[in-house]
């Protein structure tokens, strides 16, 4: 049989075209984008449903004040019993405003108590403050931390009948200014006099107490306190005596500095108003 009569095997060659491999990186990027947009719209929703007071409470809760001067924020207390931390957002996305305000209030109280401890420690360690411990009175009031600098017999804060601070009074207020500046709270400064009538009819204890409060403000700022922390400066003359039994007691001559809590600060802005033509009254 001839060679050409032999059957040749049939070879079929298949070419498989493989599609390019794109990977799944785009899925991760898209998921990140979706989460970011969801968070953005959640933020817009929260801002839209809250009033100014609630926004302030949320802002206060998430703030992390400076730990300068030994004052640091205290983390929220965990819920007793279950070991879980309280949350101002529940699983359905609702904001517990009452809880947020409560947390802000607790943090505010702890901050002022820490400030009081720092001041007490400074009285023991500071060469400028230690000799005048009996003239610095500290206490917590419903409005916040009150710091009173009082006159003692033969050791006044100011020149007689004047708003000029003596050197050691300037040093005391300078030390206080640096310490107070470590907290975000605002302050009120009030001047007081004793009940002795001022010799001049044109310049009374009202003017004197106000001028002394303003002199104390300048000394605090010179010591390191930011000027915009001052919420109010006023003089009350002899209307609020420290020693009511003896209206002429030197201790009645004093400067009172209150480091306000949030409630006192809000109340200050609510009650301070300017009246415009037409009888409209708006917050100051």
pLDDT in tens, the chain (284 residues): 555 555 566 666 665 555 555 556 777 777 778 888 888 877 777 777 766 666 666 666 565 444 344 454 444 444 444 444 455 555 455 556 677 777 778 888 888 898 899 888 888 887 767 777 888 999 999 999 999 999 987 789 999 889 999 998 998 899 899 999 988 899 999 999 999 988 777 899 999 999 999 999 999 999 999 999 999 999 999 999 999 999 999 999 999 999 999 888 888 888 765 433 444 434 43
CATH number, span 132-271: 3.30.1330.60
Give the domain ranges of the chain: 132-271
- Residue 172: alpha-carbon gap to chain centroid: 23
For the question of whether the overall pTM of this predicted structure is more than 0.85, the answer is no
Q: How many CB atoms lie within 10 A of CB 98?
A: 11
3-state secondary structure the chain: CCHHHCCCCCCCCCCCCCCCCCCCHHHHHHHHHHHHHHHHHHHHHHHHHCCHHHHHHHHHHHCCCCCHHHCCCCCCCCCCCCCCCCCCECCCCCECHHHHHHHHHHHHHHHHHHHHHHHHHHHHHCCCCHHHHHHEEEEEECCEEEEEEECECCECCECCCCCCECHHHHHHHHHHHHHHCCCCCCEEEEEECCCCCCCCCCCCHHHHHHHHHHHHHHHHHHCCCCHHHEEEEEECCCCCCCCCCCCCCHHHCEEEEEEECHHHHHHHHHHCEEECCCCCEEEC
In the chain, the largest separation of any two C-alpha atoms, in whole Å, equals 150
């Amino acid at each position: 049989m001839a060679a050409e009569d032999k059957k040749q095997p049939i070879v079929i060659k298949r070419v498989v075209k493989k599609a390019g491999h794109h990977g799944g990186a785009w899925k991760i990027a898209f998921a990140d984008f979706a989460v970011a947009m969801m968070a953005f719209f959640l933020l817009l929703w929260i801002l839209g449903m809250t009033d100014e007071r609630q926004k302030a409470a949320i802002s206060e809760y998430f703030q992390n004040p400076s730990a300068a001067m030994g004052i640091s924020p205290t983390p929220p207390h965990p819920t007793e019993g279950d070991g879980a931390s309280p949350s101002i957002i529940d699983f359905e996305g609702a904001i517990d405003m009452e809880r947020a305000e409560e947390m802000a209030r607790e943090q505010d109280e702890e901050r002022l108590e820490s400030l009081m401890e720092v001041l007490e420690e400074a009285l023991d360690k500071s060469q400028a403050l230690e000799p005048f411990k009996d003239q610095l009175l500290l206490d917590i009031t419903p409005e916040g931390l009150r710091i009173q600098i009082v006159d003692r017999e033969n050791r006044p804060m100011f020149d007689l009948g004047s708003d000029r601070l003596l050197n050691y009074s300037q040093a005391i207020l300078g030390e206080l200014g640096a310490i107070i500046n470590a907290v975000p709270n605002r302050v009120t400064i009030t001047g007081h006099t004793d009940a002795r009538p001022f010799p001049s009819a044109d310049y009374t204890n009202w003017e004197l107490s106000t001028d002394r409060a303003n002199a104390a403000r300048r000394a605090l700022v010179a010591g390191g306190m930011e000027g915009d922390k001052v919420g109010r400066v006023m003089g009350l003359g002899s209307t609020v005596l420290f020693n009511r039994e003896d209206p002429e007691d030197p201790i009645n001559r004093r400067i009172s500095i209150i480091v306000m809590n949030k409630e006192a600060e809000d109340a200050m802005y609510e009650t301070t108003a300017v009246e415009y033509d037409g009888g409209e009254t708006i917050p100051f």
